Structure 1
Amino acid sequence: MIVQAKESLQLQLVSIVVATYNGERFLREQLDSIVNQTYPNLEIVIVDDASNDGTIAILERYAASYPNICVYKAEKNLGYIKNFQKGLLLCKGDYIALSDQDDIWLPEKISILMKEKGEHAMVYCNSELIGADGESLGIKLTDLKNLLDFWTPLNYVVGGTASGHAMLVKREVIEQSLPLPVIVTHDYWIGFVSTLFSPIKFVDEVLVLYRQHGGNVIGVNSGGTKATRKKKITKESRNEIIRERMKMMYEKCPDSLPEIKKVFYSLHKSYQNFSLRHNFTRMIIFFRYRKEITAYKKRKELRRWLFCMKMFFKIE
């Protein structure tokens, strides 16, 4: 037993960031699944975004029972991205995992991801969808999305499918991801930054029960469509957000990746307007790097070609 205790102390610290907001309905199940993780060296950082239901009372009870739980309460609502950022800034771990308030983690999640991480900056797992009452929907995320080892930042030109609830990320990646931009989801940005360090590793094992219900901030339905609560915006406003996203990615890409940075620069320039020259440039880049750019899409080759052709007329 003494030897096991010494081995546990040598394990790298993993920080789990739990972002909460009016989550009393499902919160206990998620917290139980986190405190019962088999990985022994955990700190659990919970940041509440000014809840006005029974969430705080639940958090305080868990914090009183588990010494590795720290609860931080916002005085005003920050929004889920900035609330996650607050939690990330408070972490001390060598590796960081992100947690929503309404899922259920399988007991071996952190242990398996730590075992599989190798030298990768990020590792992530498969998930199974469950309903509001915890019943299995018989669907894995791999049935809906193309989950794989992402090997280049170009995999994130228009999308990525590594979900935040499934991630385990090196602390250095998180440090380079901050401050989190608010025009993209936090997991999209962290995934992109991870590819600047190393390929992302996918572990094809269900380690999260991913709950779908009417209150999801981000979720998927049975058809695989992202269900986000977004305000309707005009086409031009949408295009401005897309242009800003591409600019951020180009600026973030380091000079140590000259070919990839050149691609992002060309895309950034071609996104500025819909001139004939820019339209051709954009479409040609998408065709040339279609394997990388469309890797996240669960589509056959013909549909990937059609997607690239559309880039002559639009930005994505």
Structure 2
Amino acid sequence: MRVSVVLCTYNGERFLDAQLDSLLAQTRLPDEVIASDDASSDGTWTRLQAFAERARGLGMAVELHRNQANVGYVRNFEAALGRASGDVVFLCDQDDVWNPAKIERMAARFADDPGLGLLHTDARLVDAEGRHTGVDLLRALEVTPGDLAMEHAGRAFDLLMRRNLVTGATVAIRGNCWAACCPCRRDGCTTSGLPSPPPPR
């Protein structure tokens, strides 16, 4: 099973190194990292270039892309996801730090269940210095034991029609699911080919 990590950045110099180090410390390294920078004005791009050299030395494929102008995180992620080739694709925020076994454990779930399309986790919420705040993500979102029971019983769709408890930074998705729901994955378009967002209301 080929694993891709899609990382989007914007002026993330302060936090980025810790996240990049956590990717390199995974017990199951990704096969591919797609990093798309949204026209950062700080040292983010230099850090991505240094990471790419280290990651390639470990056998990972790394593709770096730099937007000429800022397009916003939604369009940046959409275009970056369209470049990923993995059977399973992990979304990655620039200011997180991953548990060393994250990829290994989540990839194993996909391998064990061919019908699994999307998997998400809880997360420890930390402050700007990386200290745990004492609250985890699902608790902060007021997710109930009943909500989790619905998910584990295979009724996640019903639950998600009522409320959202899935955040992008905790998600891995099967590559063919993304291809089915996003024309960019099928057509190979880039940010410049994306339609303009609707006007604000």
| TM-score grouping bracket, smaller chain normalisation | 0.7 to 0.9
Q: 1 CA distance for matches of 2:103 and 2:15? A: 21
Counterpart Cα distance in 2 of 1:41 and 1:96: 9
Cα 1:84–1:126, aligned 2, differ >3 Å: closer, same or farther?
same
Counterpart in 2 of 1:84? 77
Greater C-alpha radius of gyration: 1
Aligned to 2:165, what secondary structure does the other structure show? coil
Does residue 144 of the first structure (1) align with residue 137 of the second (2)?
Answer: no
Shift of 1:62: 1.0
Structure 1 partner of 2:192: none
CA displacement at 1:152 relative to structure 2: 4.9
Unaligned runs of 5+ in 1: 1-11, 181-232, 238-316
Report the CA distance shift for 1:157/1:81 in structure 2 as closer, same or farther (over 3 A).
Answer: same
TM-score (normalised: structure 2): 0.79
Alpha-carbon distance between aligned partners in 1 of 2:137 and 2:29, rounded to the nearest angstrom = 28
- Report the residue type matching 2:36 in the other structure: V
Partner in structure 2 of residue 159 of structure 1: 163
Q: Provide the residue aligned with 2:55 in structure 1.
A: 66
* 1:148-227 aligned within 5 A: 148=148, 149=151, 151-179=155-183
Q: Report whether the alignment pairs 1:114 with 2:118.
A: no
User: How far 1:124 sits from its partner (Å)?
Assistant: 1.3
Q: Deviations over 1:214-234 (max 9, x none)?
A: xxxxxxxxxxxxxxxxxxx7x
- The code of the aligned residue for 2:129 comes to D
Distance 2:9 2:91 in 1: 12
1:229 equivalent in structure 2: none
Identity across matched positions, percent? 30
- Per-residue deviation at 1:142? 2.5
The size of the alignment, in residue pairs, is 171
CA distance in 2, matches of 1:14, 1:168: 10
SS of aligned partner of 2:14: coil
Letter in 2 for 1:162: V
State the TM-score, normalized to the length of structure 1: 0.51
**Residue 49 of structure 1 corresponds to which residue in structure 2?**
38
1:115 is displaced (CA, Å) by 1.6
Give the Cα separation in 1 of the matches to 2:31 and 2:79.
18
Measured after TM superposition, the shift of residue 65 of structure 1 is 2.0
Higher relative contact order (CA 8 A, sep 6+): 2
Deviations 1:237-279 (A, max 9, x none): 4xxxxxxxxxxxxxxxxxxxxxxxxxxxxxxxxxxxxxxxxxx
Deviation at 1:123, TM superposition (A): 1.2
Supply the distance in 2 between the matched residues of 1:129 and 1:153 (Cα, whole angstroms): 26
Structural RMSD (CA): 1.8
Q: CA deviation at 1:158?
A: 4.9
- The separation in 1 between residues aligned to 2:80 and 2:174, in whole angstroms, is 15
